[in-house]
Chain A
Amino acid sequence: MRVDRSNVIDADRDAVWKIVSDPDNYPSFMTNLERWDSANDQSPSVGARYFVHWKVGSVPVGGLMEIVEFDDLRDLAWVGITGVTMRGRIRLRDAGKGQTKVTFRLSYQAPGGIWGYIADRVAVGQVGRIAADTLKRLQKRAESGG
């Protein structure tokens, strides 16, 4: 399943990138995030690993993630190494007049055949709400000066 949510933030890309490029900030704006802990003590860049869990349904879902794309002021993407098969991306683009369009994508696939497919379908509504609410909180933080 793929969840894709966007919004336009009234702040320039530098200001937004400053927040999203440091995963230590994620607990402050990512909704339902239960854990985002460094796993290999590497500064945020390609290869940095984190233990990441979102509360989805009854339990924390996630696992060990690795940053696979760290494109200054543009894209930050990660993939899941353990746990649910997952990719995540935060994408920044200019929206004119000092504004920034932020896109938050989560693609995931649970194991287990048909049960995994059903679980994916059941979870997609909540994952969508998590993504949308995360962007609102990021917007609030960026527009209030970070």
Chain B
Amino acid sequence: MAGLAEALEWAREQVSSRVPKADLDQRDPDYIRDTLPMTWLVASLYFRADVQHLDRIPAEGPVLLIGNHSGGNVPPDTFVFTLAFCSYFGVERPFYQLAHNLVVSAPPLGWLRKFGTVAANPENARLALESGAALLVYPGGDYEVFRPSWERHKVDFDGRMGYVKLAREAGVPIVPVSSVGGQESALFLNRGQWLAKLLRADKTLRLKSIPISLALPWGLNISDLAGHIPLPTKISIEVQHPIEVDGDDQAVHDKVMASLQAGVDRLAERRRFPVIG
């Protein structure tokens, strides 16, 4: 048991030492521009994506974009929305995304930092908003992204509402971004929170879930740390109207959740079949 604890402590140190300090300058608009055609091809041909109402996002200035998160460690919704935002507003508009420490510290995913992906913590979020950028946050994080596929149309942040305080302190509006389809990219069976606790990954790696799913090419996929090949599920995204932060945190959070869930319900109604859309 002592050996396991040491191994976990070693893993924690490895991850935390590799989490890069937020450096907004690592975002590279030319790199993003050059990769847009490839992402457009994947989004258009593989995911048959449809993104609506980008015009609801304020045309300039900082804004906090709050989305429901789907698709495990290979979330097509993030990928498609980032493409849509950069296409619509241009790569010149600063745009950052918060991601889990494990994502930003993984060496093969270093290119994400050029897209504006920074480690998810309040300091980085404030830094991005204070710089005047748009910031995409998925408060549900690893809890929501690994929900069972039969709960795919349920928005669930596990009660997290720190984003409201963030928006209030930065004086920026919140724009909810609803999406469906991502949770059909694999068959997610269980969040595996019990497994995360058993292995103490919740303490050492900030991993509250070690999910269990059926996914390509692994078959039975435990943890999804190596990712998976997503099924060609149709991704639909609808941007909602901005919400001003003018009430207490719970009231604003309730508004955001209601707006997101209503958007998800609308998109889900239009969906006739899983994956196919």
A positions within 8 Å CB-CB of B: 34-35, 53, 57-64, 82-83, 110-113, 115-116, 118-120, 122
**Does B100 make an interface contact (CB < 8 A)?**
no
Which of B83-91, B133-141, B191-199, B266-274 lies at the interface? B83-91
Residue from B37, B45, B48, B55 having most chain A Cβ neighbours under 10 A: B37
List A contacts of B33 (CB < 8 A): 111-112
**Does B49 make an interface contact (CB < 8 A)?**
yes
5 contacting pairs across A/B (C-beta < 8 A):
A34-B54, A57-B40, A60-B84, A83-B87, A83-B90
CB of B88 within 8 A of CB of A58, answer no
Contacts A115-B37, A116-B37, A118-B41 given: A58-B51 contact, CB under 8 Å?
yes
List B contacts of A53 (CB < 8 A): 87-88
CB of A57 within 8 A of CB of B34, answer no
CB of B88 within 8 A of CB of A115, answer no
Interface size for B (C-beta < 8 A) is: 26
**Does B80 make an interface contact (CB < 8 A)?**
yes
Q: Which of B94-147 contact A (CB under 8 A)?
A: none
List A contacts of B48 (CB < 8 A): 58
Which of A61, A113, A118 is close to B87, meaning CB atoms less than 8 Å apart? A61
Contacts A112-B37, A119-B40 given: A58-B49 contact, CB under 8 Å?
yes
List A contacts of B35 (CB < 8 A): 112, 115
Whole-angstrom CA separation of A103 from B135 in the bound complex: 42
CB of B54 within 8 A of CB of A60, answer yes
List A contacts of B84 (CB < 8 A): 58-60
A110 to chain B, nearest CB (A): 4
Residue from B44, B45, B49 having most chain A Cβ neighbours under 10 A: B44
Residue from A61, A64, A111 having most chain B Cβ neighbours under 10 A: A111
B177 to chain A, nearest CB (A): 14
CB of B34 within 8 A of CB of A59, answer no
A101 to chain B, nearest CB (A): 33
CB of B41 within 8 A of CB of A119, answer yes
CB of B36 within 8 A of CB of A112, answer yes
List A contacts of B80 (CB < 8 A): 58-59
Report the nearest B residue to A53, measured CB to CB.
Answer: B88
Report the nearest B residue to A63, measured CB to CB.
Answer: B90
List B contacts of A64 (CB < 8 A): 90
Residue from A58, A60, A115, A119 having most chain B Cβ neighbours under 10 A: A58
**Does B50 make an interface contact (CB < 8 A)?**
yes
CB of A59 within 8 A of CB of B37, answer no
CB of B34 within 8 A of CB of A113, answer yes
CB of B88 within 8 A of CB of A57, answer no
Contacts A35-B55, A58-B83 given: A112-B88 contact, CB under 8 Å?
no
**Does B188 make an interface contact (CB < 8 A)?**
no
List B contacts of A57 (CB < 8 A): 40, 43-45
